[in-house]
Amino acid sequence: MRFLRQTMIGLFLASVAVGLLVYAASLVGGAVQERLADDASAPPARERVFAVNVITAQAEDIVPTLETYGEVQSRRLLELRAAVGGRVIELSDAFQDGGAVTAGQVLVRLDPANAQDAVDRAKNDLADAAAEERDAKRGLILAQDELAAAVEQSDLRARAFDRQVDLAARGVGTATATETAELAAAAARQSVLSRRQAEAQAEVRVDLAATRLSRTRIALAEAERRLADTTITAPFDGTLSATDVVVGRLVSANERLAELIDPDDLEVSFRVSTAQYARLLGADSSLLKAEIRATLDVAGLDLDARGQITRASAAAGAGATGRLIFATLREAAGFKQGDFVTVRVQEPLLVDVVRLPASALDARDDVLVLDSEDRLEAVSVELMRRQGDDVLVRGPIEGRSVVRERSPLLGAGIAVKPIQPGDAQAAVEAGPEMLELSDERRARLVAFVESNNRMPKEAKARVLARLAEPKVPAQMVARIESRMGG
């Protein structure tokens, strides 16, 4: 009996398990059939629209500016050097670095003793040469007088010989007398030749005396110049720099003592590329006298000076590229020799060009413009100039909206939402969105902030102060609630 009861209980439990399994299989099969019967069509796709900043292209006449860097230098820069050697015995009070001097002012005086002695010796030599010249002239006069007397005596001897020959022909004279008269005439002629030679020697002596006198005068002038060179004066108004001498120092010839700079006659030299140089040439291939502006940044304060291009260097320079250009500066107050400045040169006027941000132009000189359906269209333009963060272009974009900033996501045919500069400005002026919180929501936010131990005390106090206001920025509330998980 007991065995039968246990057998019946086992059969009952087995039948219940089989029934549950059948019921579960029925549920699973129904779910699978229902799933297979559902419509598997995907939801309709929506086109993605990008928000872009745009600018309206306006053609105008613009004078482009070429920006480069240059160095200020004085047009009159002179090295003061000692023409002769000697000991420095006197210095001007203005002979110091930065000292202002005037033209003709005595700056350095060297010991003139040796130079003065040379001048005195040259004067004595000049007196001797002058006396020698006078003596030579007197000797020439005497030689000329002796020649005249010899010529006169020769004429007398010749006439006496002629008379004696005539007497001998008439048989009155003797041969001895005739021979004696002939010998006397020959001796007189020889005396004339001797006197002519003496006259020539006297003339040579006069010439030598004149040459010596001239050489002595040159030596005196040279000695006087050396004496004058012992005093160094300023050739023009200016400022001294790099002074390197003291009283008592022995300087040698051609030693540099200082530099004299004219601070009021400044110019700036700057280098441009060959292409930029070509844009500064006129119709006759001459360099334009364009206006320039030199700027020196001094602790946030800009010193400006205006100027004009005057010339270009004749050679490119060893190891350099481009062209070196010089421009004079007007009213360059505060500028000094050696200043490194920013130079802006006004180029010739460009007609009908559009100024765009440089980010609107790609490497192929294309810009993206909007069509009537707010879709992007690529338009090719001609790049005329680059002006800092802007570009000057010319192309068929007059009056059209141009994308300010390009990105890899943007391309021709993409739908966009244009944002004009005025819209962004209005959004900035409107300020952040504000919310009015309920007491329960405000209390929950305050409790979360107070329980946050990782927040600095200053930041926590600032956030709690904003939460205590009637209106709280929506961005702040969203950020706190995202961290709360609510």
Is 72 inside any structural domain? no
Is 3 inside any structural domain? no
In a shared domain, residues 368 and 450: no
* CATH number of the domain residue 190 falls in: 1.10.287.620
Q: Tell which residue, 326, 329, 340, 332, has the closest CA to residue 280.
A: 326
pTM of the model: 0.59
In a shared domain, residues 149 and 208: yes
Is 375 inside any structural domain? yes
- Print the domain residue range for 424: 350-429
The pLDDT of residue 44 is above 60: no
Q: Which residues contact 243 (CB under 8 A, 6 or more apart)?
A: 95, 96, 97, 99, 257, 258
* CATH number of the domain residue 409 falls in: 2.40.420.20
pLDDT, tens digit (0-9, with 9 covering 90-100), for 80-126? 888 888 899 989 888 888 888 998 899 999 999 888 999 999 999 99
Q: Within 13 Å and on the Cβ side, how many CA atoms surround 325? A: 30
Q: Which residues of 215-239 are buried (b: 16+ CB within 10 A; e: fewer)?
A: ebeebbeebbebbebbebbbeebbb
Mean pLDDT of the chain: 84
In a shared domain, residues 136 and 224: yes
In a shared domain, residues 374 and 436: no
Alpha carbon distance 154, 73 (integer Å): 83
The pLDDT of residue 218 is above 90: yes
The pLDDT of residue 57 is above 70: yes
**Residues of the chain above pLDDT 90, percent:** 20
In a shared domain, residues 146 and 209: yes
Compute, in degrees rounded to 10, the torsion defined by CA atoms 206, 211, 216, 222: 160
- pLDDT number for residue 325: 93
Domain count, the chain: 3
Last residue of a domain, one of 168, 196, 229: 229
In a shared domain, residues 363 and 404: yes
Is 165 inside any structural domain? yes
pLDDT, tens digit (0-9, with 9 covering 90-100), for 235-270? 988 889 888 888 888 988 888 899 998 888 899 999
Alpha carbon distance 7, 262 (integer Å): 130
Cβ atoms within 10 Å of 35's Cβ, excluding its own: 9
Q: Which residues of 361-375 are buried (b: 16+ CB within 10 A; e: fewer)?
A: beeeebbbbbeeeee
Higher pLDDT, 152 or 216: 216
The pLDDT of residue 63 is above 60: yes
pLDDT, tens digit (0-9, with 9 covering 90-100), for 420-440? 876 555 444 555 677 788 888
DSSP 415: B
Alpha carbon distance 463, 460 (integer Å): 5
Last residue of a domain, one of 229, 262, 297: 229
Is 70 inside any structural domain? no
In a shared domain, residues 391 and 475: no
Pick from 11-25, 146-160, 202-216, 345-359: least confident: 11-25
Is 396 inside any structural domain? yes
Pick from 227-236, 411-420, 424-433, 467-476: least confident: 424-433
Compute, in degrees rounded to 10, the torsion defined by CA atoms 151, 152, 158, 162: 150
In a shared domain, residues 392 and 441: no
Last residue of a domain, one of 229, 248, 283: 229
The pLDDT of residue 301 is above 70: no
The pLDDT of residue 327 is above 90: yes
Region 43-60 average pLDDT: 80
pLDDT, tens digit (0-9, with 9 covering 90-100), for 370-398? 988 889 999 999 998 888 889 999 999 88
In a shared domain, residues 366 and 462: no
In a shared domain, residues 409 and 440: no
In a shared domain, residues 409 and 467: no
Is 475 inside any structural domain? yes
Judged by phi (left if over 0) then psi (alpha if -120 to 50, else beta), residue 437 lies in beta
In a shared domain, residues 407 and 464: no
Is 355 inside any structural domain? yes
SS3 assignment, position 63: coil
